[in-house]
Amino acid sequence: MKIDRKFLLCSLAYAVFGIGVGIYMAASKNHMELVAHAHILLVGFLMSFVYGLIYKLWVSAEIRSIANIQFYMHQLSALVMLAGLLLFYGGLFREALDPILAVSSLGVFGSALLMSYLVIRFPAETRR
């Protein structure tokens, strides 16, 4: 499966999950998970969707190994971050989650830096 499609499928899964968390918050009238909900939609859905578009439109398909590293770095970091935020704002394991959230945030940042490198270093052929 191409990397752009992997990112698209992951982004849709994050969208469904994030909307589900939003519906849960509305139904329960408990908005403690608001920050986690926002991160699920921004880091999970939006960033994955944008990365998929970038791979489809602006990055050469020849860089499969680096692209896979960037994909798994982003997905793993985002999943750990989002699970950590759900637990943190749910009031569970707050002290233990600080270093986990810090490392996962750095992973998301690292994947963004790697994406920037790929766009600059491996541009796709111009489409007409």
The domain ranges of the chain are: 3-121
Q: What are 78-109's pLDDT values in tens digits? A: 999 999 999 999 988 888 999 999 999 999 99
Q: Which two tokens stand for residue 12?
A: 């849709």
Q: What are 44-61's pLDDT values in tens digits? A: 999 999 999 999 999 987
Q: Mean of the per-residue pLDDT values for the chain? A: 93
What residues have CB less than 8 Å from 65, skipping those under 6 apart? none
Q: Which two tokens stand for residue 26?
A: 């509305």
pLDDT at residue 128, as a whole number: 47
Q: Alpha-carbon distance 80 to 124, whole Å?
A: 31
